[in-house]
Amino acid sequence: MILKPMSSKKGTEKELLWQSRFAEPFDREALLFSSSVDVDKVLYQEDIKGSIAHVTMLSEEAIIPVEEARLIVEGLEEIEQEISSGALVPGWEDEDIHTVIENRLKEKIGPIAGKMHSGRSRNDQVVTDTRLYMKQAIGELNNALEDLKKLLLEKAETYRYTIIFGYTHLQRAQPVSAGHYYLAWFNMFQRDGERLKDLYKRVNISPLGAAAFAGSTLPLNAKRSMELLDFGELFRNSIDAVSDRDIIIEFISACSIVMMHLSRFCEDLILWSSSEFDYLKISDAFATGSSIMPQKKNADIAELVRGKTGRVYGDLINILTIMKGLPLSYNRDMQEDKPPLFDASNSTISSVRIFTKMLAHTKLKEERLAKLTEEDLSLATEIAEYLVRKNLPFREAHRITGKIVSHAIESETALQHIPLETYRTFSDLFDSDLYDALKPETSVNTKQSHGSTSFASVDEQIKAAREKL
């Protein structure tokens, strides 16, 4: 702990909160190895908020005098301002942010500061801080996803009548409404939001009052602490309260799925913005150039989001590996839960936000897409379904259409430009009405099945998506 302009170089001469039982001071290198303050200093506001709630409850239950509780709370509020302003800088020799705050409080108000920890363990303290942090992080991530979903609906409405290629196996498959395409992403991110909403119920449980793991002999009012911290539910089992890290695993898992969706979307944008595809344009504000090749325009922001996906996946493997062999209840291994939690949270929230901003400045090249879709073999399915409507079994219709496609490729003739006489050499079921079916607009707009790409269906999907928002 450093209070500017002074600095501390005493290392292990600092008092550690648990040290009284030991005859020898903690080894300096061991303290440096075990110190987590460089990571958990992020939680200083949550820690102070939790301590104020705990002290308020202690005073209300007459476990500590009201006046002493007032001094503690005022001291904690001052410390929050000191850390926020940079006047108080946590140092590694204080072990963790909890020690930083308690030692600073002792400097301010003396031994009374020690009463703050009555009936509380570092175990229930840290999980309370973590849950408070996660409630905030879930809210931020959900808000970022809401902004992305609103943008996707705007894109769907803007491009509902624009026809693009739908792909399978990265091969042109069938023409679809671009609005239908954007709505597919909307549904993915909608599920991401639903996962977060469901997870929030399990995060919104107060563990304060569980103490080390077995509870306390003091007459704690855990329900009051829960109310003061705006938790929705109280822990049921004190062992589980301090040893559970399922919510962190769930959260990083949810982040991993969000990042997977973003990465897939980025892959489309990267491919479609290339010269080979040239379907869309990403604003220069979200692209970079080459240090040696002046002509280059690289979709770097999309590539970075795609790259950060692997980072978040690593966070998930990290926390799963930490927890897989731990006996009940608390183990110091659990200190390592915060780096993957913080990293996954920050990486995912920032990725969603920058991706949304980039996507807002991305435009489809509608004229080029109209020209490409008009003369492409992706309309072949329409030929097969045309024959099905003429009462031909689909397998036979598929076989005939395959031969027509081979002819189109060999003769370098678009399906729309093959003469009717030629079509009739493959089947006498073909008539002049075939050419109406061989238009991208007809292909898209005659889709009748539920959730399809027809313009009417897309309009209904947009309406339903807007209701979900």
Q: What is the pLDDT of residue 240?
A: 96
181 in a structural domain: yes
68 in a structural domain: yes
CATH number, domain containing residue 356: 1.20.200.10
Tell how strand 163-168 and strand 171-177 pair up. Answer: antiparallel
Pick the more confident residue, 10 or 223. Answer: 223
Final residue of a domain: which of 350, 370, 390? Answer: 370
pLDDT tens, position by position, 42-79? 999 999 999 999 999 999 999 999 999 999 999 999 99
Considering the domain architecture, whether residues 93 and 35 belong to the same structural domain is answered as: yes
Considering the domain architecture, whether residues 356 and 396 belong to the same structural domain is answered as: no
Considering the domain architecture, whether residues 149 and 195 belong to the same structural domain is answered as: yes
Per-residue pLDDT band at 9 (split at 50, 70, 90): very low
Q: What is the pLDDT of residue 16?
A: 66
223 in a structural domain: no
User: Quick check: 129 pLDDT over 70?
Assistant: yes
Q: Is 290 an active-site residue?
A: yes
Q: What is the pLDDT of residue 130?
A: 98
Pick the more confident residue, 50 or 96. Answer: 50
User: Quick check: 332 pLDDT over 70?
Assistant: yes
Average pLDDT over residues 266-283: 96
Pick the more confident residue, 224 or 17. Answer: 224
Alpha-carbon distance of 118 to 125, in angstroms, equals 12
225 in a structural domain: no
pLDDT tens, position by position, 433-447? 999 989 999 999 988
Of 78, 79, 64, give the one whose Cα is nearest residue 112.
Answer: 64
Considering the domain architecture, whether residues 176 and 109 belong to the same structural domain is answered as: no
Alpha-carbon distance of 163 to 26, in angstroms, equals 69
For residue 404, what are the domain limits? 375-458
Final residue of a domain: which of 331, 350, 370? Answer: 370
- What is the pLDDT of the chain when averaged over all its residues? 93
Q: What is the pLDDT of residue 147?
A: 98
Of 169, 291, 449, 450, which residue is the catalytic one?
Answer: 169
Considering the domain architecture, whether residues 382 and 363 belong to the same structural domain is answered as: no
Final residue of a domain: which of 118, 149, 183? Answer: 118
pLDDT tens, position by position, 137-175? 999 999 999 999 999 999 999 999 999 999 999 999 999
Average pLDDT over residues 194-205: 98
pTM of the entire predicted model: 0.90
Considering the domain architecture, whether residues 151 and 113 belong to the same structural domain is answered as: no
Ordered alpha helix ranges (H), 361-411: 366-374, 380-389, 394-411
Considering the domain architecture, whether residues 182 and 299 belong to the same structural domain is answered as: yes
Considering the domain architecture, whether residues 10 and 92 belong to the same structural domain is answered as: yes
Question: Could you give the number of structural domains in the chain?
Answer: 3
What's the CA angle centered on 146, arms 140 and 200, to 5 degrees? 50
Residue 304 to residues 146, 262, 390, Cα–Cα distance (Å): 22, 11, 51
Q: What is the pLDDT of residue 7?
A: 36
Considering the domain architecture, whether residues 252 and 153 belong to the same structural domain is answered as: yes
Report DSSP state, residue 92: G
Considering the domain architecture, whether residues 296 and 342 belong to the same structural domain is answered as: yes
246 in a structural domain: yes
Task: Give the range among 24-33, 108-117, 150-159, 387-396 with minimum mean pLDDT.
Answer: 24-33
Considering the domain architecture, whether residues 11 and 79 belong to the same structural domain is answered as: yes
Q: Is 417 an active-site residue?
A: no
27 in a structural domain: yes
User: Quick check: 424 pLDDT over 60?
Assistant: yes
Residue 364 CA neighbour count, 13 Å, CB half = 21
Report DSSP state, residue 327: P
CATH number, domain containing residue 32: 1.10.275.10
Share of the chain above pLDDT 90, in %: 84
Whole-angstrom Cα Rg for the chain:
31
Contact 123, 214 (CB under 8 A): no
Tokens found for residue 122: 């570092």
Of 84, 290, 350, 411, which residue is the catalytic one?
Answer: 290
Per-residue pLDDT band at 448 (split at 50, 70, 90): confident
Alpha-carbon distance of 20 to 355, in angstroms, equals 52
222 in a structural domain: no
pLDDT tens, position by position, 12-40? 455 666 566 666 777 788 877 878 898 89
Tokens found for residue 24: 């020898």
270 in a structural domain: yes
Peptide bond into 329 cis (omega under 30): yes
**Cβ burial, residue 180 (10 Å; 0-12/13-18/19+):** buried
| Interhelix angle 66-85/44-60, nearest 10 degrees | 170
Residue 100 to residues 14, 96, 213, 221, 229, Cα–Cα distance (Å): 10, 6, 23, 26, 22
Considering the domain architecture, whether residues 256 and 309 belong to the same structural domain is answered as: yes
